[in-house]
């Protein structure tokens, strides 16, 4: 927006600095995803989410009221920490309170809601773009760009009294409105119960049973509820015994280091971690967020002149992005993960090669070659369709399915931090790439799309309908089998005991309890 460019010309004119402006939030999110694990253990899942909402609200308010570049950067850094915290804790909370059978669907729904948020932000920005007009100074002609395609230059195209047309509200309102969904989440969490699993890990059995009863909407004495409660308790006791037996005498940082080292200490463990991290790596280096962050610039390269037109095309991109995620809800458990990844990878590769070829062939003359420009825009949308049903949701689903129970939380923290670090790198370098490499940028991302297909075919297992024990066979491991035997031992020990651990509970049969443990 021109009023933003007039206020912060350095961000608008310097592509490298623009990259840092975008990526500050992403780097802070990487940090937030790492620090939230101990916060979630100390304060619980519910209050960790509320704390993150408070932090995000502060960061968004600073951005909305930003008068200087340092204020903007500080605001984005604070908000970024909160975003990283939420990407770690919200999926954890969902998995701990949801019924096991719908967890995969919930992960896809989470991705769908992310795309819906992006869609709303695109169209919100398009709407606020008109506040006060679309030009900063309507009476001053553009001095940037070329004679055939003039562009706004904040060094010369702003009057002595600043913008007399487009209001600063056009960009301050989008920053401020980020607070609304955050507050809805924070206030909503006040009415939600704490995670039963977390309460059990703190020895608060009665509170955990009450929480589970509220989540399931079942009476505390219901046999089904008691069975699930004991299954969760068996897992919590297993995790405690796993740490106690595998890392005797370790605590604090030495224990944390030992747990993370375990992820690379054997070939099967390293294989699992490598698959999870590489899927997240390709998810970012295929260019998805480059398209989202810099869509107006990309559409401008394809011949769409003017901010208004580029923002409109960006809004349509958001619609395509959201609608294309929907098929994953129905296909991910019917077709499987690998076929969707391969098809999506091939589709994105072909699309980006065509876009790169069009920009390379026509260059700056695309403004006068409308058919070629619109063809390129169409393939940007086709790229998005292929990415949205494949790597976008499956990048989050697959890592959660390949790690053993004893290593899952630590491994998932690494895969989540991987996606944020890669996201940061892409956000940082893309403006310079678009400015200097131009068509080569799309070929760069296309190459990683092709590599992602090869990696999927060679190394990514199909996880649809498979248990953790099946994953042991794939990764030539025995960890999940050993964990299952230990879980059943604990379940048998718990069977028939009341809360606090005394007499037999009549309504719980061993077979039902073990079945519940197996699916948790």
Residues 138-174 pLDDT 10s: 989 988 887 777 888 999 999 888 898 999 999 999 9
The verdict on residue 253 lying in a domain is: no
In tens, the pLDDT along 365-423 reads 888 888 999 999 999 999 999 999 999 988 888 887 888 767 777 888 889 889 999 99
The verdict on residue 293 lying in a domain is: yes
The verdict on residue 33 lying in a domain is: yes
The verdict on residue 278 lying in a domain is: yes
Q: What is the DSSP letter of 73?
A: H
User: At 112, is the pLDDT very low, low, confident or very high (cuts 50, 70, 90)?
Assistant: confident
Tell me which of 175, 192, 209 is where a domain ends: 192
Nearest-angstrom CA–CA distance, 171 and 178: 12
Contact 17, 428 (CB under 8 A): no
Specify the pLDDT at position 503.
45
Say which residues have a Cβ less than 8 Å from residue 150's Cβ, sequence separation at least 6. Answer: 141, 142, 143, 144
In tens, the pLDDT along 283-339 reads 999 999 999 899 888 988 898 876 667 777 888 888 998 899 888 888 888 888 999
398 in the same domain as 293: yes
In angstroms, what CA-CA distances link 412 with 81, 257, 357, 393, 429? 18, 15, 38, 15, 26
Specify the pLDDT at position 104.
67
Specify the pLDDT at position 505.
44
Question: Which CATH number characterizes residue 389's domain?
Answer: 1.20.1250.20
Tell me which of 148, 164, 192 is where a domain ends: 192
In tens, the pLDDT along 171-184 reads 999 999 999 999 99
Residues in the chain: 520
Specify the pLDDT at position 519.
52
The verdict on residue 230 lying in a domain is: yes
User: At 520, is the pLDDT very low, low, confident or very high (cuts 50, 70, 90)?
Assistant: low
Mean predicted lDDT score pLDDT of the chain:
87
Q: Is the pLDDT of residue 26 over 70?
A: yes
The verdict on residue 458 lying in a domain is: yes
134 in the same domain as 100: yes
| Count of the separate structural domains present in the chain | 3
292 in the same domain as 276: yes
The verdict on residue 265 lying in a domain is: no
304 in the same domain as 341: yes
In tens, the pLDDT along 207-254 reads 999 999 999 999 998 989 988 898 888 888 887 887 888 888 888 788
317 in the same domain as 410: yes
Give the structural domain span for 483.
Answer: 197-246+478-519
230 in the same domain as 108: no
467 in the same domain as 344: yes
Nearest-angstrom CA–CA distance, 128 and 176: 12
Please, which contacts does 291-294 make with residues 24 or more away whose CB atoms are closer than 8 Å?
A: 291/317, 291/380, 291/383, 291/384, 292/118, 292/317, 292/321, 293/22, 293/427, 293/430, 294/430, 294/431, 294/434
In tens, the pLDDT along 27-77 reads 999 999 888 878 888 899 999 999 999 999 999 999 999 999 999 999 999
Tell me which of 444, 461, 477 is where a domain ends: 477
409 in the same domain as 463: yes
* Sign of the four-CA dihedral 425, 125, 8, 28: negative
210 in the same domain as 353: no
Backbone φ and ψ of 432, nearest 5°: -65, -40
275 in the same domain as 148: no
Q: Is the pLDDT of residue 502 over 50?
A: no
Q: List alpha helices for 192-335, DSSP H.
A: 196-201, 205-216, 223-246, 252-261, 267-285, 288-293, 295-301, 307-331
466 in the same domain as 494: no
Nearest-angstrom CA–CA distance, 80 and 495: 45
Contact 302, 436 (CB under 8 A): no
The verdict on residue 258 lying in a domain is: no
Q: Is the pLDDT of residue 506 over 50?
A: no
Q: Is the pLDDT of residue 439 over 70?
A: yes
pTM for the whole structure: 0.83
14 in the same domain as 159: yes
Q: Which of 76, 80, 65 lies closest to 18 in space, CA to CA?
A: 76
């Amino acid at each position: 927006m021109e009023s933003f460019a007039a206020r912060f010309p350095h961000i608008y004119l310097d592509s490298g600095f623009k990259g840092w402006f975008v990526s500050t939030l992403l780097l802070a999110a990487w940090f937030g995803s790492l620090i939230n694990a101990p916060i979630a253990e100390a304060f619980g899942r519910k209050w960790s989410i509320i704390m993150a909402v408070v932090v995000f609200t502060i960061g968004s308010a600073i951005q909305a009221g930003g008068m200087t570049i340092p204020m903007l950067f500080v605001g984005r850094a604070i908000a970024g920490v909160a975003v990283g915290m939420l990407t770690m804790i919200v999926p954890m909370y969902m998995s701990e309170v949801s019924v096991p059978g719908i967890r995969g669907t919930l992960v896809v729904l989470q991705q769908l809601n992310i795309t819906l948020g992006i869609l709303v932000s695109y169209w919100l920005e398009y709407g606020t773009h008109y506040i006060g007009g679309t030009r900063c100074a309507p009476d001053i002609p553009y001095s940037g760009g070329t004679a055939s395609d003039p562009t706004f230059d904040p060094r010369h195209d702003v009057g002595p009294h600043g913008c007399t047309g487009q209001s600063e509200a056009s960009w301050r309102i989008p920053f401020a409105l980020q607070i609304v969904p955050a507050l809805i989440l924070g206030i909503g969490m006040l009415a939600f119960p704490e995670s039963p699993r977390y309460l059990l890990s703190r020895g608060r059995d009665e509170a955990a049973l009450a929480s589970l009863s509220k989540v399931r909407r079942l009476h505390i004495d219901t046999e089904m509820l008691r069975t699930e409660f004991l299954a969760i308790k068996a897992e919590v006791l297993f995790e405690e015994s796993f740490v106690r037996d595998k890392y005797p005498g370790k605590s604090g940082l030495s224990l944390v280091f030992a747990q993370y080292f375990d992820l690379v200490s054997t070939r099967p463990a390293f294989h699992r971690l490598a698959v999870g991290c590489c899927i997240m790596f390709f998810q970012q280096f295929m260019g998805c967020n480059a398209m989202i962050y810099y869509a107006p610039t990309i559409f401008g390269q394809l011949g769409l002149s003017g901010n208004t037109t580029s923002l409109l095309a960006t809004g349509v991109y958001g619609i395509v992005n959201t609608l294309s995620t929907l098929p994953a809800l129905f296909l991910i458990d019917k077709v499987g993960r690998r076929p969707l990844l391969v098809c999506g990878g091939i589709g994105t590769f072909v699309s980006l090669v065509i876009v790169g070829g069009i920009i390379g062939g026509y260059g700056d003359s695309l403004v006068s070659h409308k058919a070629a420009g619109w063809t390129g825009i169409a393939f940007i949308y086709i790229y998005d369709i292929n990415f949205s049903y494949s790597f976008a949701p499956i990048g989050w689903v697959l890592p959660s399915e390949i790690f053993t129970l004893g290593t899952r939380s630590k491994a998932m923290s690494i895969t989540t931090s991987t996606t944020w670090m890669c996201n940061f790198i892409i956000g940082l370098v893309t403006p310079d790439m678009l400015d200097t490499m131009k068509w080569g940028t799309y070929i760069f991302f296309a190459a990683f799309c092709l590599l992602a297909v090869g990696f999927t075919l060679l190394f990514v297992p199909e996880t649809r309908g498979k248990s953790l024990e099946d994953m042991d066979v794939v990764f030539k491991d025995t960890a999940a089998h050993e964990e299952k035997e230990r879980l059943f031992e604990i379940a048998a020990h718990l069977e028939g005991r009341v809360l606090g651990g005394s007499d037999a509970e009549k309504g719980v049969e061993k077979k039902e309890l073990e079945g519940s443990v197996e699916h948790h």
